[in-house]
Amino acid sequence: MVAVWLVPVGQKLLLWGALSAITLVGATLILSFLQMMVTYARNWLQMRPIPSISGAYPFLGHALILKEGGTEFFQQVIYYTESNRHVPMIKIWLGTVPVIVMYKAEIIEVILTSSKQIDKSYLYRFVEPWLGLGLLTSTGNKWRSRRKMLTPTFHFTILEDFLDVMNEQANILVNKLEKHVDGEKFNCFFYITLCALDIICGTQAMHILIYQLIHLHPVYRMSDLIHRRIKKIWFWHDVLYLLFKDGRDHRRNLKILHNFTTNVINERANEIKRDEERKSDDRGTTLSKRKRKAFLDLLLNVMDDEGNKLSFEAIQEEVDTFMFEGHDTTAAGMNWALYLLGCHPEVQKKLGNELDEVFGMYGPFTTYTEGPKSLKQMAFLLIKNVQSGLF
């Protein structure tokens, strides 16, 4: 009799439990929606004075009109900026998130030179599964602490040790470009990107000769997936994203990239450990002390103010960050500089004359003891063009 009585009681408890769970989930969703609406309304009011391109819809923004392909989207941005040169900036809505497009140097300078405005935008969360909370994506005290720890690794005296790597790859690049002299037009982006990546791999001790096959494609595939995800707001939810082919492709490439950097870090850490245990021919001096230290070596040995080394996760964050950010932004800057020099042959001639004056018959790709100090003598390159806004 007792068992018979407990059955309906148990059923009622399960029903009430299910209803409570549903109510809790519903209340959470409602609160999240209200919070989103408040943020959306506040952003809309704050951004109202900034001109916007046409074609925006509530909640969707401009998501329906943005091109999917990288080339097409870039041409679209160029069109919008050229059409709005009379205003200092425009805004594009990605769902409920406003994106400000700035294309005047004096305006961008205010943000880039600020030591307070270091918080990354909401859209950076889509990069975090790949790069973690490294120097690019972190903020606040973590960013300041990590920046303080890593800044010494980019001191001029350390960079001078890698002039031979930079010179070697620069000469290879020049030889490749020379083959196209007096020929038909071509896209130099791939050459420039490989040069930047070769330098990064050399300075990070990532001495893997077939990285083009196993690493370069996943890097650019991941970049493409992230850009596609940012432009499609229905990809923003992590669970829903995995239901689409892009989401599964993202997870697969993420595994490849993380496995790559994990293996490189472990390999280099084991090499350093073996070097420290094995005495070199010179008594009391290890091999690792006689060889130049690459960026990865410095990461494995860097310490904070309390004498603590970086964790493996922190090292991987920075290796992933600099493998992507270190070559991608540099390659983009190099390509942009070449494009501008091609558009302004008179500037190109002045820079050529300045190179001859500063470096003489040896040229800029010769290893010289002064290193970066000599570059400061190139006033036209470093000062006049920055002031004029040409570069």
Query: Which pLDDT tens digit goes with each residue over 294-313?
Result: 677 778 877 666 667 788 88
179 part of a folded domain: yes
2 part of a folded domain: no
**Residue 354 and residue 321 share a domain:** no
The residue written with tokens 């800029």 in the block is 364
Residue 198: CB atoms within 10 A of its CB come to 20
**Reduced to 3 states, what is the DSSP secondary structure of residue 232?**
coil
Q: Does the pLDDT of residue 211 top 60, yes or no?
A: no
CA distance 98 to 44: 8
**What burial class does residue 275 get, using C-beta atoms within 10 Å of its C-beta: 0-12 exposed, 13-18 middle, 19+ buried?**
middle
Q: What are the tokens at 346?
A: 């008179």
Q: Does the pLDDT of residue 213 top 50, yes or no?
A: no
Q: Does the pLDDT of residue 194 top 60, yes or no?
A: yes
11 part of a folded domain: no
**Residue 174 and residue 92 share a domain:** no
68 part of a folded domain: yes
**Residue 76 and residue 220 share a domain:** no
Domain count, the chain: 3
The residue written with tokens 């018959």 in the block is 361
Residue 101 phi/psi, 5-degree rounding, is -100, 115
Beta strand extents in the chain (DSSP E only): 89-94, 97-102
- The contacts found for 185-188 with CB under 8 angstroms, 24 or more apart, are 188/335, 188/338
**Residue 272 and residue 237 share a domain:** yes
209 part of a folded domain: yes
**Residue 324 and residue 212 share a domain:** yes
- The DSSP annotation for 177-210 comes to HHTTTTS-----HHHHHHHHHHHHHHHTT---TT
**Quick one: average pLDDT of 185-208?**
72
Q: Which domain holds residue 58?
A: 32-117
**Residue 236 and residue 325 share a domain:** yes
**Residue 231 and residue 161 share a domain:** yes
**Residue 197 and residue 99 share a domain:** no
**Quick one: average pLDDT of 89-104?**
89
**Residue 324 and residue 226 share a domain:** yes
365 part of a folded domain: yes
Summarize pLDDT for 345-367 with one digit per residue, the tens.
988 888 888 888 877 655 544 54
**Residue 298 and residue 228 share a domain:** yes
Residue 45 phi/psi, 5-degree rounding, is -70, -40
Supply angle C-alpha 384, 385, 390, rounded to 5.
150
122 part of a folded domain: no
126 part of a folded domain: no
